[in-house]
A and B are shown apart, each in its own frame.
Chain A
Amino acid sequence: DAGVTQSPTHLIKTRGQQVTLRCSPKSGHDTVSWYQQALGQGPQFIFQYYEEEERQRGNFPDRFSGHQFPNYSSELNVNALLLGDSALYLCASTSLRDLFTAGNTIYFGEGSWLTVV
């Protein structure tokens, strides 16, 4: 049973460019969240998708957008990249029925390391 998979694992972009990161959730999961972890910081919640819609959003600008597909996989898009967008981007999956219950139901992928130069 595959866990949460993310791609690419590492990438380098130039300021002003756009990037797309991809995530496939764990089998049986329908809810995907994205987190940004800057160097020396804890992960920060970007947004959450289920039923192909953005349901919750953290304090991130509109340059950050996403999408969820019918197979529950998800993409994170960042436009007009800034140096400060350099970070580890983590995808987390869970099932909607478990989202608001106590318990260890959130699984993280290995992350995508983005460097903006």
Chain B
Amino acid sequence: QKEVEQNSGPLSVPEGAIASLNCTYSDRVSQSFFWYRQYSGKSPELIMSIYSNGDKEDGRFTAQLNKASQYVSLLIRDSQPSDSATYLCAVKSGNTGKLIFGQGTTLQVKP
């Protein structure tokens, strides 16, 4: 079992729709959770972080964390073609401090 799992996609949504990206993790000691956006040929860019159970909203983005289910998700409302990218879920271990990434989900927003 991989430590952080994501569906590789591609996930295709029409412009204006809600995109839902999911991630599961295996290390119960994990304490911080991050979503990075990566455009082709570029380095990852942090878009959301969450540390407590529940929802965290920032503009069109909402991160959701459920530690009991070891599940974290990212919702993108009013999706735009410029949101088309690969979204990486990352988990920071409380024991090691290192980031463990999923393989990423490719999102395609079609005009």
| In the complex, residue of chain B having the shortest beta-carbon distance to the beta carbon of A48 | B98
Whether a CB of chain B sits under 8 angstroms from the CB of A86 is no
| In the complex, residue of chain B having the shortest beta-carbon distance to the beta carbon of A103 | B32
Whether a CB of chain A sits under 8 angstroms from the CB of B25 is no
B100 CB contact (under 8 Å) in A45, A90, A109, A111: A45
Report how far A111 CA is from B96 CA in the complex, Å. Answer: 23
Whether a CB of chain B sits under 8 angstroms from the CB of A61 is no
Instruction: Give the interface residue-count category, chain A.
Output: 20 to 34
- CB of A100 within 8 A of CB of B34, answer no
A-B contact pairs, 14 of them (CB 8 A): A40-B103, A40-B104, A45-B99, A56-B97, A90-B44, A94-B97, A100-B94, A102-B31, A103-B32, A104-B49, A106-B92, A106-B99, A110-B42, A111-B43
* Extra contacts besides A44-B101, A103-B51, A110-B43 (5): CB < 8 Å: A33-B98, A48-B98, A90-B44, A99-B97, A104-B34
- Which residues on B are within 8 Å of A, measured CB to CB? 4, 6, 8, 31-32, 34, 42-44, 46, 49, 51, 88, 90, 92, 94-104
